[in-house]
Amino acid sequence: MDLTDLLLWGVFPYIVLTIFIGGHVYRYQKDQFGWTTKSSEFLEKKRLRIGSLLFHWGIIFVFGGHVLGLIIPVSFYNALGITEHMYHVIAITFGVPVGIAALIGIILLTYRRISIKRIKATTSTSDWVTLIFLILAIVTGLIATSLNVDSNGFDYRTTIAPWLRGLFIFNVQPELMATIPIWFKIHIYATFALYVVWPFTRLVHAFSFPVKYLRRSYVIYKKRIPQTKKVSEESSI
Ligand code: HEM
């Protein structure tokens, strides 16, 4: 086996994974109070809402698509009678629009950060790095998908997917990645860059989604009647 392939697809992924997991543990130990979205909602709401909704819903569906394509084995689809062509058509029809939604969302969020003075002033280097790496991951994913529309015999469910799953069970198979189209390689490495910086950015909030909030009781806010008004109301009785 080629040494470069072994390094690229058998060694570096574990270095990335180690930084990702170790980085989160380190950050949790050292900076629990900084473990936040660093929300800027109180500085500007309107543009945030549309950008954030598009990006987050887009990326949630992109994630769902990745689970369907990379985690669920091809044998499952075969057993259901879903052919390669059917799978590919469904993946493109749903994958591309949600990827574009995520891209438009992140572009709007970046524009908001550049164009609003006080948001720009509160944006750190790690925020800029996060935005750039997110855009790179999404753009390269979309390019790889678009160039693979007529798949030409390439099926990532029999190459990239088993390679990825193999990493998690220490069944390293770099040979599966040797001949995949270049844009998929670039896409995967763009996402590696994202995983390396992830623990040191506000992206950590992805692991602290307040699920309990969905079930907790509402917090009831009541209007306060000013003291003077209250006294005059009472004296008039
Ligand atoms: C190691 C992790 C990853 C692997 C192996 C991977 C692999 C793939 C593959 C095989 C496709 C083609 C899907 C198709 O044509 O149906 C794809 C598309 C895409 N990927 Fe990834 N990806 C990874 C992580 C990510 C991450 C972290 C992001 C975003 C931050 C991302 C964003 C996208 C986008 C936007 C597309 C275009 C199609 C769609 O919207 O689903 N990927 N990726």
Query: Atom 40 (ligand 1): residue with closest C-alpha?
Result: 99
- Non-local (6+) Cβ contacts of 28 within 8 A are 35
pTM: 0.89
| The ligand 1 atom nearest the CA atom of 195 | 27
* Arithmetic mean of pLDDT over the chain: 93
Cβ atoms of 123 and 38 within 8 Å: the answer is no
* Total Cβ atoms within 10 A of residue 8: 18
- Non-local (6+) Cβ contacts of 160 within 8 A are 70, 176, 177, 180, 184, 188
Query: Atom 38 (ligand 1): residue with closest C-alpha?
Result: 95
Express each pLDDT in 170-183 by its tens digit: 999 999 999 999 99
Distance in Å, CA 229 to ligand 1 centroid: 60
Pocket around ligand 1 at a 6 A CB cut-off: 62, 65-66, 69-70, 91, 95-96, 98-99, 102, 134, 137-138, 141-142, 144-145, 148, 156, 160, 164, 184, 187-188, 191, 194
Instruction: Tell the residue number behind the tokens 């509160």, with chain if given.
Output: 122
Q: Which two tokens stand for residue 75?
A: 């044998």
Q: What pLDDT score does 235 carry?
A: 62
